[in-house]
Amino acid sequence: MNTDLPKGYDPAQVEQKWFRCWEERGDFHADEKSPKPHYSIVIPPPNVTGVLHMGHALNNTLQDILCRWKRMTGHEVLWMPGTDHAGIATQNVVEKQLAAEGKDRHELGREAFIERVWTWRSESGGQIINQLKRLGASCDWERERFTMDEGLSKAVREVFVRLYDDGLIYRDNRLINWCPRCHTALSDLEVEHDDKKGNLWHLRYPVVGTDRYLVVATTRPETMLGDTAVAVHPEDERYSDLIGKMVLLPLVNREIPVIADEYVDKEFGSGAVKITPAHDFNDFEIGKRHDLEFINVLDESGIINENGGPYSGMERYSARVQIVADLESQGLLEKIDDYANAVGECYRCKTVIEPYMSKQWYVAVKPLAAEAIKAVETKETVILPPQWEKTYYEWMYNIQDWCISRQIWWGHRIPAWFCDDCGEITVSREDATACSHCGSSNLQQETDVLDTWFSSALWPFSTMGWPEETEALKKFYPTSCLVTGFDILFFWVARMMMMGIKFMDDVPFKEVYIHALVRDAQGQKMSKSKGNVIDPLTIVDEYGADAFRFTLCAFAAMGRDIKLSTERIGGYRNFVNKLWNASRFALMNLEDFDPAANSLDGLELSHADQWILSRFASAAEEANKALGAYKFNDVASVLYSFTWHEFCDWYVELSKEDLYGEDAAVRSRTQTVLYTVLEGLLRLLHPILPFVTEEIWQVLPGERPTITIMQAEYPVGDVIPTSAAAVAEMEIVMDVIRAIRNVRGELDVPPGKRIQVVLDCKNSAAQVAVESGRSHILSLARVENLQVGIDCERPKQVSTQVAGDVEVLIPLAGLINVEEEEARLLKEMAKVQKDVDFFTKKLSNEKFVANAPPQVLEKDRGKLAAAEEKKAILELSLLKIRTLK
């Protein structure tokens, strides 16, 4: 066995080695036939086009921590991985490839294009899967799914047909968000609103039969080509005489009516609004109310169509410039104001979207949403942290029908066929060959595909084999938990809730844990366009996956965004290295140790042993508690401080004399404790630091019940009972050591210098405690002559410090000068004086004494007494020191 660990931890080879080992051994695999209680998570499927970013890193690290923890606590864990087919994004990628070859998809035709996408996918899609593995993600990779897989596609058809049959899917011709570049409709959610600087153009529309103008304001002057009315508020006196009259639409010379509608805000602009029912959502509603004409002036690429008269064939923004210029030359441009407003952009390509009339497929979501709301209200699904519940309700109560059809090729083609003969629609699970209305075989399949989120919404059950009744579904549905960022709460979580309840008759997950967004150090959202992205894999290369994971875990406090700083990652890299070196120390001292031949049972444990074992128990307890409550940062902090500040700083140091001493029994007892605590600590840390813990665990001496630490049991608390009294005595010894070190440090006593110390104890209990730690005090405080007693004889020139019931006296002779000690005492006294003042004031407040709970009172009185006593001792010492000057 190799116990010669290198001096510094080198993550690179270690990570690769263990990940391969786990995967080959099947440690990640979930067994649906297992009798163990289940724990399941479906991964939020990243886009097949995606590359790992910080959001993925955080999201998957948290899931992995949960999954590894649950495996270790005896659960059969299914973490279902996969990617989604990202319809628009993927099609864009492949279209770009084609463009580089001077082709476009229409030349290839639909089938060849789709084939080309599949080729792209198998060659360069899904890189993110390997990137997730580099983080240590313990998904059941054998089950990896893709939303375009055959099984998942079958689920999509099943759902479509059933929703259609239930009347929840329908077709309608209305305004939708149209991306003129992607040439497809988008759902409301897929439009991003960004405040942009623009203008408000004030146009003059001549009133027919008068010499008056009606001034209207618009942010999109080119739409005037499609105006079919001007609206004013019915109670606006300025215009009441014009209602019912006609204005002459400039440039196109069309007479359009002045109508009255409550929608108009009298205060805004001129109080008169041009109405373009075919190109504006509000105008659309007004158009319907007033039975106006809907004139579409754009084609699907955003180019003015034949309805635009002289502007026909112009691109929308060129047309805007031209129209403004023409209006101006005709004296019909009143003024141009600067104006900022939220412009809708395509979330995939950032092209400004156009409200566009077209016939699309919709899901009537209101009835589904009602059930999804109920499930959260009744806590069948719990959303954490709870403030997100409100956001969820808000969205669900105001939900609009979901436009699910996309005019692209890559995706699940809508299973609907139009009959050439009777014009009716046939919707079918199998490809239709005959019209279900007239029997005709002259059918054309709908060319549109479904929104990618439609298939994502089925993910929690489609990945488990639905619509088949599989063992996996029986065992693992509903899933235990969903871990995700709030940015897809509506896109995904809400829709999974609706679909899960509708088709599985049960919620898709019992808990939803919403985590923060990772931002850069300035708090900006990371984005390629801002150039502020930090590549997680670069971080992994530089600091190691474990250090990165620990950082994410430590930062993942509920309800707050994460501003990632590389300094902090460096700090946790040091932590991993610290663990590594503490382990090296242990291994060096465990070479002759056999865990099988040594047990804690029946050993007479030292105070130090009992202290570290009791601290370990409490760290384990807190870690479990925090993990169960998704308090990832608490887990990190508990384990960090136990590892570094208790195990390394104290126990490792305390153990040295016993390990290096002559007494074989003492040595073996200490080895047993050292082994027990380190081995347990590695298991405690494993969910966060999977790689380094496995590497160390594997070289520990002896055999353990499982082959890998992954499958080992998670520590829960006490390894063996410890005596509270012994632990308390150890704490006193530690306080004394700290007090001596404090004096040494303050008075600049060289660290190597061995000194004399007198410990004057107030009572025999303190004396017993101190005596029990005599050897520790000698070694850790570098003391060569230690006197312990009650009412000891005090050397004349001493430095005085107080540690609870123990007065720490350090003879000055030859060490330090009187002035320095005087200064130190004054500083120390100033601190104590603050305490005395604070508690004196507090306790002299009659109302406080009358109202505060007795335990608070008692505690504060104790604190005051202790402070006063300490002050008295220091004061006396100061007097004595001053007589020596």
From 549, 595, 594, select the one nearest 572 (Cα to Cα): 549
Binder among 112, 336, 728, 856 for RNA (CB under 7 A): 856
- CA neighbor of 143 nearest in space, from 29, 239, 253: 29
Convert residues 590-629 into a mask of x (bound to RNA by CB under 7 A) and - (unbound): ----------------------------------------
> Which strand (E) or helix (H) includes residue 555?
helix 545-555
The only residue of 492, 550, 555, 632 in contact with RNA, by rule CB under 7 A: 555
Tokens of 604: 């007479």
Min separation Cβ 428 and RNA, Å = 33
Query: Which segment (64-72, 634-642, 688-696, 770-778) binds RNA by CB under 7 A?
Result: 634-642
171, 289, 290, 656: residue in contact with RNA (rule CB under 7 A): 656
317 binds RNA (CB under 7 A): no
Site for RNA in 487-546 (CB under 7 A): 487, 490, 519, 521-525
Of 199, 577, 606, 799, the one binding RNA (CB under 7 A) is 577
Q: What single string gives the DSSP state of each residue in 646-676?
A: IIIIIIIHHHHHHHHSS-HHHHHHHHHHHHH
Helix (H) or strand (E) holding 801: strand 798-803
Q: Which long-range contacts (CB under 8 A, 24 or more apart) does 151-155 make?
A: 151/462, 151/465, 152/455, 152/458, 152/462, 152/463, 153/412, 153/455, 154/467, 155/455, 155/458, 155/461, 155/462, 155/466, 155/467
Q: Which region among 38-46, 312-320, 553-561, 763-771 touches RNA (by CB under 7 A)?
A: 553-561
Q: How far is the CB of 474 from RNA (least distance, A)?
A: 36
CA–CA distance, 65 with 550 (Å, rounded to integer): 10
Helices (H), 273-404: 281-290, 316-329, 366-377, 387-397
Nearer to RNA, 422 or 648 (CB): 648
Helix H, strand E, coil C: the string for 260-305 is ECCCCCCCCCCCEEEECCCCCHHHHHHHHHHCCCCCCCECCCCEEC
Q: Per CB under 7 A, which region of 7-15, 82-90, 161-169, 357-365 contacts RNA?
A: 7-15
Those residues with Cβ within 8 angstroms of residue 390's Cβ, 6 or more apart along the chain or in another chain: none
Among 98, 434, 852, 873, binds RNA (CB under 7 A): 852
One-letter identity of residue 731: E
Contacting RNA within 462-491 (CB under 7 A): 487, 490
The size of the interface with RNA (CB under 7 A), counted in residues, is 106
HSE-CB of 311 using CA atoms within 13 angstroms: 29
Measured from the CB atom, the residue of 403 and 416 that comes closer to RNA is: 403
Q: Say how far apart CA 327 and CA 206 lie, in whole Å.
A: 12
Distances (CA, A) of 196 to 192, 204, 319, 342, 551: 12, 25, 20, 6, 36
Write each residue from 78 to 117 as x if it is in contact with RNA (CB under 7 A), else as -, in one continuous string: ----------------------------------------
CB atoms within 10 A of CB 875: 15
Residue 393 Rama label (left phi>0; alpha psi -120 to 50; beta) = alpha
Residues 440, 633, 756, 775: which binds RNA (CB under 7 A)? 633
Determine which residue in the list 341, 442, 763, 840 makes contact with RNA, applying CB under 7 A: 341
Check residue 397 for interaction with RNA (CB under 7 A): no
With H, G, I as helix, E, B as strand and everything else as coil, classify residue 104. coil
- Cβ nearer to RNA, comparing 741 with 880: 741
Q: Of residues 822-851, which lie at the interface with RNA (CB under 7 A)?
A: 827, 834-835, 838-839, 845, 847-848, 850-851
C-beta closer to RNA: residue 30 or 295: 295
> Where in 266-295 is the site for RNA (CB under 7 A)?
266-271, 273-274, 280-282
Strand partners, 449: 406, 413
Tokens of 625: 């508690």
Residues between 728 and 767 that touch RNA (CB under 7 A): 738, 741-742, 744-746, 748, 750-752
C-alpha span between 495 and 517 (Å, rounded): 21
Contacts with RNA in 210-269 (CB under 7 A)?
216-220, 263-269
Q: Which of 866, 865, 859, 881 is nearest to 809 (CA)?
A: 881
Pick between residue 602 and residue 854 the one whose CB is nearest to RNA: 854
Which position among 174, 245, 510, 568 is part of the footprint of RNA (CB under 7 A)? 568
Stretch that binds RNA, among 109-117, 237-245, 562-570, 690-698 (CB under 7 A): 562-570
